[in-house]
Copies of this chain bind each other. A is one copy, B any other.
Amino acid sequence: MITSRTTTWELARSTPLFSAVGEAVMSRLMRGALVQVLPKGAVLFEEGAEANFVHLILSGSVGLTASAGKPDSTVVEIFRDGELFVAPAAILELPYLVSAVVLADSRILFLPADNFRAALDAEPKLARAMVNVLARHWRLLVEQIKDLKLRQAAERLAAFLVAQAEAAGGPAAAAAGKPVGKEGAAPGAPAGSASGGASTIALREPRNMLAARLGMTPESLSRAFAQLEAEGVVSEGRAVHIADLARLRRYCALEG
């Protein structure tokens, strides 16, 4: 691909990592790096393997899956555009605890781990940026553990939907809550209104993936959606309409 190089740089430039470390450090990181355009289903690395790369998602999405020796597997977390993973294995020179599977056609930058570690020691800006990345990631998992341990299936789904709606509506348009008409469900960023009112979001993964991420079976997820209808949640395909965000928030906090 002739455009591969330039596109890669453009995309890399728009990641939070780049903003944090700047051009010099970024180009150092990219020494020996390779870009891959991978189709859905491709496996970046396997649980238990040596961590030879740190991965940066230029576009697309990747699921971190694990099976822990059992026949079936689950999804630990899902990462999207701009995210860097799985640094901990590479940094500590330990085997991956998870596998990484491409969930939607993706362009992924493979940064050699040894080079990454060297840069971590030599470039304070990189270390500082990684602290923020890892701190943010820690909080993702803490939230998830809280969900798994003290909420039941339908509540976990509710909490997830609330988080999606907030992520979609919050940062970008925190404007006054408005009648949210069903706009074409944009695949990139779900639309939604902020705190109070109604919101329509788009599920960005197939339901079996969502189920695994939420720690339940697809059947249970289906039933969880059915339960949430009583709370004003309607799902049609990938679009989910929430009639009253505040009510749903109340539901996951107080129910049980």
Interface size bucket, A side?
35 or more
Q: Are B131 and A70 in contact (CB under 8 A)?
A: no
Residues of B within 8 A of A139 (CB): 88-89, 92, 94, 97
Q: Would you give the shortest CB distance from A99 to chain B, in whole angstroms?
A: 11
Query: What's the Cα separation between A94 and B138 when bound, in Å?
Result: 13
| A100 part of interface (Cβ distance < 8 Å) | no
Q: Are A138 and B137 in contact (CB under 8 A)?
A: yes
Q: Would you give the shortest CB distance from A32 to chain B, in whole angstroms?
A: 21
Query: What's the Cα separation between A130 and B133 when bound, in Å?
Result: 11
Q: Would you give the shortest CB distance from A132 to chain B, in whole angstroms?
A: 7
Q: Are A135 and B91 in contact (CB under 8 A)?
A: yes
Secondary structure type dominating chain A contacts: helix
Q: What are the interface flags for A42-78 relative to B under an 8 Å C-beta threshold, 1 for contact and 0 otherwise?
A: 0000000000000000000000001111111110100
| A146 part of interface (Cβ distance < 8 Å) | yes
Query: What's the Cα separation between A148 and B151 when bound, in Å?
Result: 13
Q: Which of A128-155 contact B (CB under 8 A)?
A: 128, 130-132, 134-139, 141-151
Residues of B within 8 A of A76 (CB): 142, 145-146, 149
Residues of B within 8 A of A212 (CB): 149
Our pick among B97, B130, B146 for the contact of A142 (Cβ within 8 Å) is B97
Our pick among B91, B136, B253 for the contact of A131 (Cβ within 8 Å) is B91
| A2 part of interface (Cβ distance < 8 Å) | no
Q: Are A138 and B146 in contact (CB under 8 A)?
A: no
Query: What's the Cα separation between A241 and B89 when bound, in Å?
Result: 32
Q: Which partner residue on chain B sits nearest A215 by CB separation?
A: B149
| A124 part of interface (Cβ distance < 8 Å) | yes
A sample of 21 inter-chain contacts (CB < 8 A) reads A67-B150, A68-B147, A70-B151, A73-B150, A74-B150, A88-B134, A88-B135, A88-B139, A91-B135, A92-B135, A92-B136, A94-B139, A120-B128, A120-B131, A124-B124, A127-B131, A130-B131, A141-B142, A144-B145, A148-B148, A149-B215
